[in-house]
Structure 1
Amino acid sequence: METGTVGSDKGIGFAVLFSVVALFAAVAMLAVGDQFATAIGFAAAMVAACLAVAATHIYW
């Protein structure tokens, strides 16, 4: 069984970055009272979460 080495931790860094962005967007979604701002926070959290998963798949 062959194993490969990874020369960079860029995928993990991007995953952490986008996870933190998703967390802040989710907190902002709960903190605001306006329904439109809540929808924007939810959309931002979903996009950031998708990018976090994609970053690990692309760069790692």
Structure 2
Amino acid sequence: MANATESTTDKELGLALILGFIAAAGAVGMFVGAPEIEAAWGFAAAMVFSTLAVVAIHLY
């Protein structure tokens, strides 16, 4: 019987959740500041942090 030598952690899950929450906050900021430049920054934050969440899952 083979022994498992690989150790797994939940680092990717935690990192993805944190980045997902930040992305959701950016999306909320996009709706709150709808006609202003803050909406653009909210959209940018939502896009960047959602992309980083996906990368974190694949990287770790």
TM-score, normalised relative to structure 1: 0.82
For the pair shown, which has the larger CA radius of gyration, 1 or 2?
2
Of residues 6-15 and 26-35 in structure 1, the stretch that sits farther from structure 2 once superposed is 26-35
Q: Which residue does 1:17 correspond to in 2?
A: 18
Which consecutive segments of 4 or more residues in structure 1 shift more than 6 A? none
Q: Which residue does 1:53 correspond to in 2?
A: 54
Percent of matched pairs sharing the same residue: 39
Q: Which residue does 1:32 correspond to in 2?
A: 33
**Structure 2 unaligned spans of 5+:** none
**Structure 1 unaligned spans of 5+:** none
Distance across 2 between alignment mates of 1:44 and 1:28: 9
TM-score, normalised relative to structure 2: 0.82
